[in-house]
Each structure stands twice: as C-alpha cells, then as structure tokens.
Amino acid sequence: MTARPARLGLYIHWPYCARICPYCDFNVYKAAHAQPEALLDAMLADLALWRDRLGARTIHSVHFGGGTPSLMAPAAIAALLETADRLFGLAPGAEIGLEANPMEHERFAGIASAGVERLSLGVQALDDDSLKRLGRDHDARTGLAALEKAQALFRRVSLDLIYARETQTPESWRRELETALGFGTGHMSLYQLTIEPGTAFERKLKRGALTPPPDDAAADMYALTQEVCASAGLPSYEISNHARSEADQSVHNRLYWEGEDWIGIGPGAHSRVGAFAKDGRAGGAAHRRPELYIEGVKSGDGHERERLDADAEFIERLLMGIRLTEAGLDVERLAALTGLRPDADGLARMRAQELVLARGSTLVLTERGRAFADHVAETLIPDFDA
C-alpha cells in the first residue's frame, strides 16, 4: 500500500472559562485568573518552535478549542492565524473553526472578521432548568438568539447539545431535537452526558444528589437521535456528529478520527506527527498549567514528548477510526501503518452479534453497534503478548 502524505491540523487551546461547568473534565481555568497577553505570546512562540521542528508543511485545518476561545480578543485570533499562515501556509479553503459560548455573541462579528469561518456553538440544552443544572450561564433564549446570529455571520455553524441529562426523557429529548433541527443548522454535535471522574457531577452522584436517566432511557435517546436526525437530513458521520452534507462535516475532527497529523499549542494541547514514520509516531502534550506552559515555551519547548509504538498507535487508530459511522475503519491501511490487524476471534464475535460489518477492507459499525462503539473497539484489540 502506498503511503500518502498526512494532512496537518493545528489545534489551539484557550484554557479559560467564565465559570467551570460541573460536568467538565477538560483542562480549564477560571478566566478571572487569565494571563491572556502572556499566553498569546507563548502560543505565537510555540508556533515558531513547531515550524523549526517540522520544517515546511501546509496546515489544512485550524481549530480553536478550550476552555472558551470565544473569550479571546479577535486581534489575538487574527494574530495566531496570520502567524500560522506566515510560518506554515494555510491550504486554500482551510477550515478555521472556533468553539463558542452563546454568552459571547457580541464578539461573534469580531471573531468572523479575524478569519474564523466555522463556529461550534455550545447551546447544550433548550430549556432553562437543564441549563441551570448543567451550570451554564446562558438561558435557552440567549442560546437560540446566539445561534441565529452565528448562522448570519459564519459560513458554517455547528449546534452542540448534550442529552441524557437529569430529568430528561426520550419524549422530551425528541421535542428538543426537533426544535433544534428547525433552525436548519448544517452540523450538530450531540453528546450523551457522561459523568467524568474528578468532576463536580461525580461528587454529586456519589452523595446521591444527581440522578441521570437510567441506561435504557439513555440508549433510547441515542437511538432516537439517529432516527430523528437522519430523517431530517442530518445523518451521523461519527458516533456523536451529524452533518447535512460532506461539506458541513468537521475537517479538523475528521483529521483526528482518520489518524492524520496535528500539532497542538496552548496548555495541555496534544499533538501527533509523523503518522507514517517507520520508527513510530511522535506524540506529546503541552504542559497543562498555563504558567508552566508559558515558562516552558520561553525555555524553548513547553511540551512533554513521547513516541508511540505500533501497539499504541494501533489502539489509538482503532478507537478513533471505528467511530466514523459512514467511512468506517480501513483495516488494510491500519495494517500497512502498524503491521497489526484486529483480533480475528473478536471480530468474528462482533460480526456474529451484528455490531459490526465488513465492507471490503473497511469495518463499519451497524446501527446497533454505534451504541456500543467502545465495547466493539476493545474486543477488536488483539493480545499483543500472545
């Protein structure tokens, strides 16, 4: 199999949020403690260090995540994009995306002028009680007004919602989803609420103060999400992501799921480069605490580095690739890159249980299998010591 050059993405992590949501396990810090100028300087310097390390490469997508990057000054966004373009070159039509909080809607025009063309809007829920329980500082009216504003200003918009929330039923989720679909947005990210270790929600759950819907109701909500979105013309192209057309899909996220290359700047940002190198894949993460990252970059690095061996690379590519509900996981490509194949017995079991099917050299989750993606992926991992 001939290796083609990997595409390169740039992830920019802005770690500050106005307040910390009780379900969030990202690398986030309260904006009240932000050092925005020092962090921007470090990010610009980090870009130059990456350019020295990688040599000439073209960037195919840029994604501002966080945290709340819609809190960034538009001039800071523009400075990062201009520097990335000067040092690397942005491919014609490169995706430039940013995650936004509806509360920052007054900044949207400035963000669009800075060069962002795709906005992912964290509306999260369409009822005020749920938004309160999720610890969000916007109400449903503000969320929807921000959505309309985003759709007027940006070429592409993703509407992001969370379901399987406390007090939610499949019926109430269906109504909410249908209302959301009525806005005609080209992309929706629909995430099932999970209680992550170390979060305020986990502590609440442990003391009996949080009651998520039972597993079967959550599974029903997942199934109806697929059905309602598909019949509205937004089928899933990844477990939690739905798009009206291929042009509406997230180029940057596809780059992760397809195991391409990406560099990350900003506190805690991950990177993977050299996807097709013979001696494994270079991985790493920037220091998580903003002050350590800033100091690290000043001293010439700011990242912890590792080299992923074939086993680690196989697992990562399997876990990510199986999530692509349409494109699926190309087993021959995986074997060409890592020298490893899915466990034959595990694959036979998953096929017999109709959780996965083979289309030529590609494995695709069945509709039922999508609800058990992690289980399927784990079953396909071979025993590397055998």
Residues of the shown chain interacting with ligand SF4 in the complex, contacts defined by CB under 6 A: 17, 20-21, 24, 26, 28, 66-68, 101
Tell me, what amino acid is at 293? Y
173 or 201: CB nearest ligand SF4? 201
When the beta carbons of 9 and 67 are compared against ligand SF4, the nearer one is: 67
Least spacing, CB of residue 228 vs ligand SF4, in Å: 24
Minimum gap (Å) between residue 65 Cβ and ligand SF4 = 8
**CB-based contact 123:159 (threshold 8 Å):** yes
We find the least distance from the C-beta atom of residue 197 to ligand SF4, in angstroms, to be: 15
- Closest approach, Cβ 1 to ligand SF4, in A, equals 39
Task: Please state the closest distance from residue 114 (CB atom) to ligand SF4, in A.
Answer: 20
Q: From CA 262, how far away is CA 10, in angstroms rounded?
A: 6
Q: In whole angstroms, give the CA distance from residue 96 to residue 107.
A: 16
CB of 242 to ligand SF4, least distance (A): 20
Q: Which of helix, strand or coil describes residue 244?
A: coil
d(CA 36, CA 19) in angstroms, rounded, equals 16
Give 253 or 379: the residue with its C-beta nearer to ligand SF4.
253
Locate 30 and state its tokens: 């309260």
111 or 308: CB nearest ligand SF4: 111
Nearer to ligand SF4, 140 or 315 (CB): 140
Task: Pick the closest to residue 121 from 72, 187, 167 (CA basis).
Answer: 187
Nearer to ligand SF4, 4 or 33 (CB): 33
Q: How far is the CB of 232 from ligand SF4 (least distance, A)?
A: 26
Q: Determine the Cα–Cα distance for residues 120 and 251; give it in Å rounded to an integer.
A: 13
210, with CB counted inside 10 A (0-12, 13-18, 19+), is middle
Report, in Å, the least distance between residue 313 CB and ligand SF4: 28
- In the bound state with ligand SF4, the residue whose beta carbon lies nearer, of 204 and 349, is 204
- Residue 155 CB contacts under 8 Å (≥ 6 apart), including other chains: 117, 118
Smallest separation, CB 69 to ligand SF4 (Å) = 9
- Min dist. Cβ of residue 144 to ligand SF4 (A): 18
Nearer to ligand SF4, 20 or 285 (CB): 20
Secondary structure class of 51 (helix, strand, coil):
helix
Residue 324: exposure state from Cβ atoms within 10 A (0-12, 13-18, ≥19): buried
Going by C-beta distance under 8 Å and a sequence separation of 6 or more, which residues neighbour residue 49? Answer: 297, 300, 301, 302
Pairing mode of beta strands 261-265, 8-14? parallel
Tokens of 153: 């200003």
Question: Whose Cβ is closer to ligand SF4: residue 67's or residue 115's?
Answer: 67
Q: Over the range 95-106, which residues count as b (16 or more CB within 10 Å of their CB) and which as e?
A: bbbbbbbbbbbe
Beta carbon nearer to ligand SF4, 24 or 79:
24
Q: Where in the chain does DSSP place strands (E)? A: 8-14, 16-17, 29-30, 59-66, 90-100, 118-124, 156-163, 187-192, 236-238, 241-243, 261-265, 270-273, 281-286, 303-308, 329-330, 356-359, 362-365
